Amino acid sequence: MNFLTISTTAKKYILFGFVLCFGQNFSQNVTLKQDPKIENLLTEKRKLNAVMANTTRYKIQIFIGNSEESKKTLIAFKKENRLTEATLIFSTPNYKVLVGNYKTRIEAERNLTILRKKFPKALLVKPNMN
Domain at 56-125, CATH from 3.30.70.1070, 3.10.440.10, 3.40.50.2000, 3.30.365.10: 3.30.70.1070
**Residue 27 pLDDT:** 53
How far apart, in whole angstroms, are the C-alpha atoms of residue 41 and residue 46? 9
Q: Where are the domains of the chain?
A: 56-125
Residue-wise pLDDT for 56-95, tens only, equals 789 999 999 999 999 999 999 999 999 999 999 998 899 9
Helix (H) or strand (E) holding 126: none
What is this structure's pTM? 0.57
